[in-house]
Structure 1
Amino acid sequence: MEKHQADRVIMDYIKPLFGFALNKTGKIAEAEELAGRITLEVYQALLKKADLQDPNSYIFKIAHYVWARFVGEKTRASNQLRMDDKELISRNEDFDTIIHQETAGLLRREIAVLSHQQREIVVKYYYGGMKISEIAAALGLSSGTVKWHLFEAKKELKHKMNAIRSMGNLGINPIRMTGLGHSGSPGKKGDTADFLATAIRQNIAFAAYQKPLTVHEIAEELGISPVFVKDEIEELEQYGFLDQLPGGKYRANLYIEDPSRNKSEALHRLFEAYAEIAVEEYFKTFFSMADVFRKTGVYIPGGDIHLLLWSLIPYAGKQLSFKELDRVSHQEVSVSRQDGGHYAAFAKIVRAFDVSFDRSLYFFCGDMNRDSDELTLQGWQIDMYWCGRLGGWRDNLSSDFISLMHVIHGHLPQNHANIDAYRRLFDKHYLRQTDSGLEVNIVYCKDKQTGERLHEAIPHPSERIQEAAAKLDEAVYQLNREGQPEHAHKYVRYWSQNSMASGTMRAYILKHLVDIGMLKIPDPHRQKGMCTILFMGQS
Structure 2
Amino acid sequence: MQLWRQEMDSIGKNGKEAAEAIRSYVKPIFGFALNRVKQRAEAEDLAQEIMLQLLKSFSGVRDIRSLDAYVWTVARYTWVNWLKKRAHAPQAFEINGMSELSAAPSREPLDRLLVTEAYRELRREVAFLSDIHRRIVVMHYYDELKIGDIAISLNIPVNTVKWHLSEAKKKLRKGMKRMRATGTLSVNPVSMGEMGHSGSAGRLGETNDFLGRALAQNIVYAAYHKARTVHQIAEELGMPPSLLEGEVRHLADYNFLIQTSPGKYQSNTIVWDLFELAVAGHQFWQDCAAEVADVHFDALMEVRRQVEDSGVYVPDGDYNFLLWTLLPKNVEEQSWRSMPAGENFDAVAPMRKDGGQYIAYAALNRSHNADPGFDLSSYVTFGPSLRYVEDTPLYLWQFNTYWSDRQMDWRFLEYRNVEICHAFQQGELPENEENAEQYSFLLEKGYIRKTEEGYKFNAVWIDSPQTLNRLNKAMPDLSALYAPAVGKLYDKMLNLFLQNQPKHLEPQLAYMVRGNTGGGRLVAYILKHLIDNGKLKPPLPHQQKTISTWMGPVK
TM-score, with length taken from structure 1:
0.67
1:259 and 1:446 map into 2 onto residues whose CA distance is 39
1:486 to 2:510 alignment: no
Question: 1:443 aligned to 460, 481, 484, which one?
Answer: 460
Do the aligned partners of 1:379 and 1:532 also contact (CA within 8 Å) in 2?
yes
Do the aligned partners of 1:180 and 1:346 also contact (CA within 8 Å) in 2?
yes
1:337 and 1:422 map into 2 onto residues whose CA distance is 37
1:253 and 1:186 map into 2 onto residues whose CA distance is 16
CA deviation after TM superposition for structure 1 residue 358, in Å:
1.2
1:183 to 2:176 alignment: no
Q: Which residue of 2 aligns with 1:508?
A: 525
Q: How does 1:101-112 map to 2 (within 5 A)?
A: none
SS in 1 for 2:359: strand
Do the aligned partners of 1:425 and 1:431 also contact (CA within 8 Å) in 2?
yes
Q: Which residue of 2 aligns with 1:150?
A: none
1:353 to 2:369 alignment: yes
Do the aligned partners of 1:472 and 1:499 also contact (CA within 8 Å) in 2?
no
Gapped regions of structure 1 (runs ≥ 5)? 1-46, 50-105, 110-161
Q: Which residue of 1 aligns with 2:81?
A: none
Gapped regions of structure 2 (runs ≥ 5)? 1-105, 109-120, 125-176
1:382 to 2:399 alignment: yes
SS in 2 for 1:335: coil
1:179 and 1:387 map into 2 onto residues whose CA distance is 18
1:268 to 2:282 alignment: yes
Q: How does 1:313-392 map to 2 (within 5 A)?
A: 313-319=327-333, 320-322=335-337, 325-351=340-366, 352-354=368-370, 355-373=372-390, 375-390=392-407, 392=409
Do the aligned partners of 2:337 and 2:479 also contact (CA within 8 Å) in 1?
no
Do the aligned partners of 1:188 and 1:341 also contact (CA within 8 Å) in 2?
yes
Q: Which residue of 1 aligns with 2:5?
A: none
SS in 2 for 1:182: strand
Do the aligned partners of 2:498 and 2:506 also contact (CA within 8 Å) in 1?
yes
SS in 2 for 1:497: helix
CA deviation after TM superposition for structure 1 residue 375, in Å:
3.5
* Code of the aligned partner of 1:529: T
* Code of the aligned partner of 1:223: G
Question: 1:429 aligned to 442, 446, 463, which one?
Answer: 446
Q: 1:526 to 1:445 in 2, by over 3 A?
A: same
Q: 1:490 to 1:456 in 2, by over 3 A?
A: same
CA deviation after TM superposition for structure 1 residue 492, in Å:
2.2
* Code of the aligned partner of 2:322: L
1:400 to 2:417 alignment: yes
Q: Which residue of 1 aligns with 2:272?
A: 257
Do the aligned partners of 2:202 and 2:355 also contact (CA within 8 Å) in 1?
yes
1:385 and 1:405 map into 2 onto residues whose CA distance is 27
Q: Which residue of 1 aligns with 2:320?
A: 306
Q: How does 1:216-227 map to 2 (within 5 A)?
A: 216-227=231-242
Do the aligned partners of 1:451 and 1:535 also contact (CA within 8 Å) in 2?
no
Q: How does 1:189-200 map to 2 (within 5 A)?
A: 189-200=204-215
Once the two structures are overlaid, the 10-residue window that deviates more, 476-485 or 409-418, is: 409-418
Q: 1:496 to 1:518 in 2, by over 3 A?
A: same
2:482 and 2:384 map into 1 onto residues whose CA distance is 21
RMSD value, Cα = 2.2
Between the aligned residues of both structures, percent identity stands at 35
Greater C-alpha Rg: 2
Question: 1:287 aligned to 279, 284, 301, which one?
Answer: 301
SS in 2 for 1:188: coil
CA deviation after TM superposition for structure 1 residue 463, in Å:
2.1
Q: 1:415 to 1:372 in 2, by over 3 A?
A: farther
CA deviation after TM superposition for structure 1 residue 445, in Å:
1.0
Q: Which residue of 2 aligns with 1:122?
A: none
2:435 and 2:417 map into 1 onto residues whose CA distance is 12
CA deviation after TM superposition for structure 1 residue 456, in Å:
1.1
CA deviation after TM superposition for structure 1 residue 458, in Å:
1.2
CA deviation after TM superposition for structure 1 residue 171, in Å:
1.0
1:506 and 1:324 map into 2 onto residues whose CA distance is 15
1:497 and 1:407 map into 2 onto residues whose CA distance is 38
SS in 2 for 1:370: strand
CA deviation after TM superposition for structure 1 residue 435, in Å:
1.1
1:259 and 1:385 map into 2 onto residues whose CA distance is 17
CA deviation after TM superposition for structure 1 residue 462, in Å:
2.7
2:327 and 2:346 map into 1 onto residues whose CA distance is 28
SS in 1 for 2:220: helix
CA deviation after TM superposition for structure 1 residue 225, in Å:
1.3
CA deviation after TM superposition for structure 1 residue 166, in Å:
3.2
CA deviation after TM superposition for structure 1 residue 499, in Å:
4.0
Do the aligned partners of 1:400 and 1:421 also contact (CA within 8 Å) in 2?
no
2:180 and 2:430 map into 1 onto residues whose CA distance is 68
Q: Which consecutive segments of 4 or more residues in structure 1 shift more than 4 A? A: 162-165
CA deviation after TM superposition for structure 1 residue 259, in Å:
4.4
Q: 1:489 to 1:373 in 2, by over 3 A?
A: closer
Q: How does 1:42-57 map to 2 (within 5 A)?
A: none
Q: 1:248 to 1:447 in 2, by over 3 A?
A: same
CA deviation after TM superposition for structure 1 residue 442, in Å:
0.4
Q: 1:523 to 1:280 in 2, by over 3 A?
A: closer
Do the aligned partners of 2:196 and 2:361 also contact (CA within 8 Å) in 1?
yes
Q: Which residue of 1 aligns with 2:70?
A: none
Deviations 1:213-245 (A, max 9, x none): 000111111111111111111110011111112
1:249 and 1:163 map into 2 onto residues whose CA distance is 24
Q: How many residues are matched?
A: 381
Q: Which residue of 2 aligns with 1:532?
A: 549
